[in-house]
A and B are shown apart, each in its own frame.
Chain A
Amino acid sequence: MLQHPVSATGITRLHRLWLYAIASAVIFFLIAPTLLVIPMSFSSSRFLEFPPPSWSLRWYHAYFESVEWRDATVVSFEAAIGTMIVSTIVGTMAAYGINYSRFGAKRFVQIALALPMMIPVILTAVGVFIFFAPLGLNNSLTGLILAHSTLAIPLVLISVTAGLKSFNANQEMVARSLGASRIRAFMTVTLPQIRYSVISAALLAFITSLDEVVISLLIAGGDKATLTRRMFLALRDEIDPTIAAISSMLILLSIILMASSQLIRPNRT
């Protein structure tokens, strides 16, 4: 599998075996624990032993029969879709502006928009909580979407900027010379060509919101509790096997999203 001949990379056979062994172990460490949750979720036992004493669907039943879990799931998806829409639109606009503007001020804009990625989430969460309290946005879907969007925008910005950088800017100039206004040229020529980056960005924004725990913990109470908030609170007290069932379904969703983000990419290499 090594691309370069052994002599070229300077690795002997023994080294290579070691390297493969270590790398395989690390990959196992990365993947296996997560996947292990799936068989566990079909256990009949309350104690999550492995291997399970016998198989059953009782934890899936427990999930689907619980109104609380179902409501939380609905809230989570609503928030994720809202965040995806808001941050993809707003983030793509910003990426375009930053990419083509020649103002010196754009450096500051770039830094400001990257900050939510660097500031510890707990701080953002506390800040948002204080800010939302007088506005009555705590425990509301709008509040959740706004707060999650601040986390998703930096990711959208990175993904779309990468798309714009690899896009040949002459294309948009040609469109404009052929009679398209800037907006029209963007919609008909640029956007179709950077669509992979934009779709990836949207998927990333979706999953960012869906998986977000800390902000939800502070601002998503009452009937607007998200799935992750409920899971976190449940886990703090006990290892409820229902969560194994939910986790398994989330893993499946992650795989689907990740696969689609990989599949939409044209085969370049």
Chain B
Amino acid sequence: MRTLSDSAVGERPAAAASLPVTVCKLTKRYGAFTALKDVDLAIRSGEFLTLLGPSGSGKTTLLMVLAGFVRPDAGSVAFGEREVVLLPPHKRDIGMVFQNYALFPHMSVAGNLAYPLKLRGHGKQDIADRVAQALALVQLEGYGERSVDQLSGGQRQRVALARAVIFEPRILLMDEPLSALDKNLRERMQLEIRRLHDRLGLTTVYVTHDQREALTMSDRIAVMNHGQILQVDRPRDLYDRPSTRFIAEFIGETHCIPIEIQNGEASLFGRALRLATPLATTASAQALVLRPERLQLLSADKPTHDLNTIDGTVRQHVFQGDSVVTFVSLPDGHDIAVRHPYGNDSEHLQPGTAVRVGIAPRDTIVVPAENATATASGRA
């Protein structure tokens, strides 16, 4: 049932042709270095999925495998029902945006946009119409005849984006497309790319090492390290329920401190902790994930019923503009950070003052204490 408002929303129907991507047991070695290790991943049709990880984690290799520029040693990649792992890049019908835009300097803006259409044998008039439409889509009307060098960084990025979607690909791949832009422009482009995605409904795989960017833009995030996918989840779930210490520390500002486990009960400095999720029965050494903005600074003698608490002494206040971070020294020598809004009274606590740090049970997350590699290989 189509209504008037439906057709008015977008110039194009939210791409029905968009495809799910299924990656299965993908492995790629470069000599002794394993870039991808038995990677499984199911990307839903129309989803915005981000591959997040430090450099060398395998995220770009995985993207290049999807694009067809890197052949894996083994494994399968399917777009919809179709196995594509042996297809060359130009037969995959993917749009791709590279790190430094890679616009063709020997063609005008319109020439760049027309390139994929010419390859597909579109007629002259059709090409002109589509180029005009694409320019409008990225708010660059009237820029068609400009040469690429005359564009600013943000404009180049938009042209690269328009070029990648103008031929209505089934899947859009982006490799750190915003890394060359400055912070403000980057944040604006993040929203713009996300809006474009929502409008076209394209299955999008986005690679970045910037966790904030990943949290801002994605439907789901796949965190990678050492050639493996550690966790695939919605941004909120990833933030609230990291499955490993590596993820906890990679996403958001985090301090991890080891906790004691006895008879399946977790405790810290002899005080029992109420946890967000029950401890796995097999759990051995665990660490508590502390995020500065989820902690509260309380006076040492204030009674607390509903909070887990840790005692410590104020060490230092750091003013950060919109907020103040107070570092609290714990009995075992660890420092943890507590963030509170600027103007809060806590700022007047002298260094050395005994304080109590409170965490709500629903924010009390524990993860295995060993580092991510060990966890990951345990999983595989």
A touches B in complex, CB < 8 A: yes
Asked if A16 lies at the interface with its beta carbon under 8 angstroms from chain B, I say no
Q: Which of B17-25, B101-109, B137-145, B221-229 lies at the interface with chain A?
A: B101-109
Whether, in the assembled complex, A174 has its beta carbon less than 8 Å from a beta carbon of chain B, the answer is yes
Say whether B106 contacts A177, CB under 8 Å: no
Do the beta carbons of A176 and B102 come within 8 Å of each other?
no
Separation in Å of the A143 CB from the closest CB of chain B?
A: 39
For the complex, give the distance between the alpha carbons of A193 and B68 in Å: 24
In whole angstroms, what is the CA distance A37 to B173 when docked? 63
Known: A171-B102, A176-B89. 13 other contacts (CB 8 A): A168-B102, A170-B98, A170-B100, A170-B102, A173-B69, A174-B98, A175-B115, A177-B69, A177-B92, A177-B164, A179-B116, A180-B90, A185-B90
Give Cα A175 to B115, complex, Å. Answer: 8
Q: How far is the CA of A184 from the CA of B121 in the complex (A)?
A: 14
A214 contacts partner chain B, Cβ-Cβ < 8 Å: no
| Cβ of A169 to closest chain B Cβ, rounded Å | 9
Residue of B nearest to A189 (CB): B104
Looking at the assembled complex, report how far the CB atom of A101 sits from the nearest CB atom of chain B, in whole angstroms: 14
Cα distance A184–B102 when bound, in Å? 17
In B223-274, the 8 Å CB interface with A consists of none
A231 to B130, CA, bound (A): 63
Chain B stretch 55-111: residues in CB contact (< 8 A) with chain A: 67-69, 88-90, 92-96, 98-100, 102, 104-106
List residues of chain A with CB within 8 A of the CB of B93. Answer: 179
Closest CB-CB distance, B198 to chain A, in whole Å?
Answer: 23
Taking a contact as CB atoms under 8 Å apart, the answer to whether A193 and B89 are in contact is: no
**Chain A residue contacts of B68, Cβ below 8 A:** 176-177
Interface centre among A176, A181, A193 (most CB of B within 10 A): A176
Spell out B's residues near A (CB within 8 Å).
67-69, 88-90, 92-96, 98-100, 102, 104-106, 115-116, 119-120, 163-164, 167, 173
Contact yes or no, A179 B90, CB < 8 A: yes
A-B contact pairs, 23 of them (CB 8 A): A168-B102, A171-B104, A173-B67, A173-B69, A174-B102, A175-B115, A176-B68, A177-B89, A177-B90, A177-B94, A178-B119, A178-B167, A179-B93, A179-B120, A179-B167, A180-B115, A180-B119, A182-B88, A182-B90, A184-B119, A185-B90, A193-B105, A193-B106
CB pair A173–B119 under 8 Å, yes or no, is no
Q: Quick check: is A192 within 8 A (CB to CB) of the other chain?
A: yes
B148 to chain A, nearest CB (A): 11
Q: What's the nearest-Cβ distance from chain B to residue A168, in Å?
A: 7
B291: shortest Cβ distance to chain A, in Å? 38
Within 8 Å by CB of A178, from B69, B106, B116, lies B116
A170 close to B90 (CB less than 8 A): no
Q: Which residue of B lies closest to A168 (CB)?
A: B102
A189–B167 Cα gap in the complex (Å)?
A: 18
Q: Which residues of B contact A180 (CB under 8 A)?
A: 90, 115, 119
Nearest CB on B from A171, distance (A): 5
Q: Chain B residues near A181 (CB, 8 Å)?
A: 88, 90
- Which residues from chain B contact A193 at a C-beta distance below 8 Å? 104-106
Closest to B100 in A: A170
Q: How far is the CA of A2 from the CA of B90 in the complex (A)?
A: 52
Interface residues of A in 164-203 (CB under 8 A from B): 168, 170-171, 173-182, 184-185, 188-189, 192-193
